[in-house]
Amino acid sequence: MPSLPIVEQIQDVQAGRSARSGLAEGTMGGVELMAQSTAGIAPSAVMVSGATLVAAIAGPGTLYSYVVSLAVLMLVGWCVARVARLRPGEGMLSHITAAFGRAVGFVGSMGLAFGYLLIAAGCVAQFSQYVKPLFGVAPPVSAGAPGTSFGFTLVFEVLCVAGAAFMMIRGVRVSAWTGVVLEILSIGAILLVLTLALLRHGFVLAPLLPTGITLGQVVGGMVLALLGFVGFESAACLSVEAKDPQRTIPRAVFGSALLAGALYLYSSYAQMASFDGSEKLAADATPLNTLADGLGQHWLALMVDLGAVASNFACVTGSLTAASRVLHAMGESRLVHPKVALAHPERKTPHIAILLLSVVALAVALGMAASGVNELDVYSYSGTLGTFGYMVAYILMGLGAPVLLRKLAPRAGAGLAALIGGIVAICLSYVFYRNIYPVPVWPTNLMPWLFLGVLLAASGWYFAGPARQRDGHDPARLVAEPLG
C-alpha cells in the first residue's frame, strides 16, 4: 500500500476535484454501481441479437469468441480494480492521464467516449427495431436488407433518446435503478424462451466441441463478442459519485462482467443447439422470436420484443451516463470546452454533456437510417466502431496500471500488473490486427480505418487546442508524478 503522505496527497486532490465537480458526491452504493455497469452492458439486448452477429463471423467458434473475450476483459477489470484501490475517486481519464500525460489521456478518453456514444447510437436503433413489431408497424429485417419505415423510426428513436436524456438529467440513481429493473425483466423473459427451446430441442455437444474452426474465426468474432461486454467498466466513470470507491467499484466491474459472461455463454449455446448450428442462427435477424414462435407461444415472442426494447433503453441511459462523466472530466481538465463540465445545480448531473451526447447519438442513428441502413446493421456497424474505441482505452489502462503502481506503490506488485497489462495490450492489439488482415468483406473492411481517422482527427484537434492551453492546473498532475 502507498505510504501515509501519498494517501493524504491523493485525498487532497480528490477533495478539491469533488468540490469543483458539482456532481452528487458519494451518493451511489455498491448495488447502484453494479446497476450502472449492468445497464451499460445491457446483457439482454446482446442476448437477443449478439449471438446472431458473432455467429456470422465466428461460425461454430461462437462460444469460444465469447470465452476468450470474457477472459481478456476480466484482465482489464483487474487493472481497473487495482488502480481504483490506489486512486479512489478517480476515473479512467485521470488514471490514463496520470500514467502517460495529458495527450495520451485525451486519446484514451476520446476512445472511451466514442465507444459509449456509438454503443448508445446502436441501441437507439435496436430500440426502434424491436418496438416496431409491438405496434404492428414493420417486422425486423435481416442484416444487409434495406431499412424501412423511416417515419416510424424517426418517432421511436426521438422518443427513446428524449426519455433517456430526461432520466439521466433527473439523477444518476434514477437512471441506474431504471436500467437494472428493465434489465431484470428483460433477462427473465429471454431466459424463459431459451430454456423452453433448449428443453424441446435437447442438449447437444456440437456447440461446445465444434470441428473445423480456425483461430481467424474466433478472433474475428471477438470484436462483436467484446461489444457484448463493453461498458462493464462504466461504474469506474462514476468514481466521484461512488460511496467507498476502493471497494464498490472493483466489485461492480467484476460482478457485471461475470454476470454478462454467464448469460452470453448460456444464450449462445441454447441458440446454437436450438438452430442446429451457427449457419441457421446467423441467417435469422430475430432468433429468439423464431424460437418463441416455434414453441407455439407467440406471447413469448412479444415478451422478447418488450424485453429487447427495455434493455436497449437501459443501455442508452447506461452508456450515455458513463460518456457524460468522461466528457465532464475532460471539461474539468480543459481537454474540451469547460462549459461541458457544468453540472445541474439541483440534480447534480452533467446536463450539458448529457444533452450534447444525446443529440449526437440520435443524429448518428437517424443519419444511418435515412441512408437506408436497417436497424440491425446500424447496431452492428456502430457497435464495431465503438468497440475499437473501448479497445484503445482498455489497452492504455492495461499499460498504465504497472506505471501507476510503480509510482504510487512500488511494493504492490507492479511486476504482476506489467504481465497482466501486457497480455491485455497484446490480445486486444491482435484482435484489431485481425480486423485489418486478412481484409474482411465490405463494409467491415472500412471500420478500422474509419476509427483510425477519428483518432487522428481527435489528436490533431488536441494539439491545435488543449495542448496550447495547458495551465498547470490539471487535477491528475499531482498523482502523475512520483510522490514520496
For residues 8 and 364, which has the higher predicted lDDT (pLDDT)? 364
Q: pLDDT digit string (tens) for 84-141?
A: 888 876 777 788 888 998 888 888 888 888 998 999 999 999 999 888 888 877 766 6
Q: Is pLDDT of 15 > 50?
A: no
Nine cell digits for residue 205 = 455437444
Other CB atoms within 10 Å distance of the CB of residue 483: 16
Nine cell digits for residue 37 = 455497469
At residue 440, the pLDDT reads 76
At residue 355, the pLDDT reads 94
| Cβ neighbours for 164, distance < 8 A, ≥ 6 positions apart | 175, 313, 316, 317, 320, 358
Alpha helices in 136-210 (DSSP H): 150-170, 172-201
At residue 179, the pLDDT reads 66
Nine cell digits for residue 15 = 477533495
Q: What are phi and psi of 373, to 5 degrees?
A: -85, 130
Going by C-alpha positions, the residue among 323, 296, 256, 268 that lies closest to residue 117 is 323
Distance of alpha carbon 459 from the chain centroid: 22
Going by C-alpha positions, the residue among 226, 230, 385, 237 that lies closest to residue 322 is 237
Which CATH architecture describes the domain 25-466? Up-down Bundle (1.20)
At residue 477, the pLDDT reads 41
Rounded to the nearest 10 degrees, the angle between the axes of helix 92-100 and helix 62-86 is 70
Instruction: Dump the DSSP string for 363-399.
Output: HHHHHHHHTTB-HHHHHHHHHHHHHHHHHHHHHHHHH
At residue 466, the pLDDT reads 65
Say whether the peptide bond before residue 443 is cis (omega within 30 degrees of 0): yes
Q: pLDDT digit string (tens) for 452-483?
A: 888 888 888 888 776 656 544 444 443 343 33
Q: CA-CA distances (angstroms) from residue 204 to 49, 207, 271? A: 22, 7, 11
For residues 185 and 75, which has the higher predicted lDDT (pLDDT)? 75
Q: What are phi and psi of 99, to 5 degrees?
A: -80, -40
Mean pLDDT of the 345-373 span? 91
DSSP state of 59: G
Q: pLDDT digit string (tens) for 140-191?
A: 665 556 666 788 899 999 999 999 999 888 876 666 677 677 778 778 888 9
Domain boundaries, given as residue ranges, for the chain:
25-466
Decide if 65 contacts 222 (C-beta within 8 A). Answer: yes
At residue 175, the pLDDT reads 64
At residue 368, the pLDDT reads 93
Q: Is pLDDT of 58 > 80?
A: yes
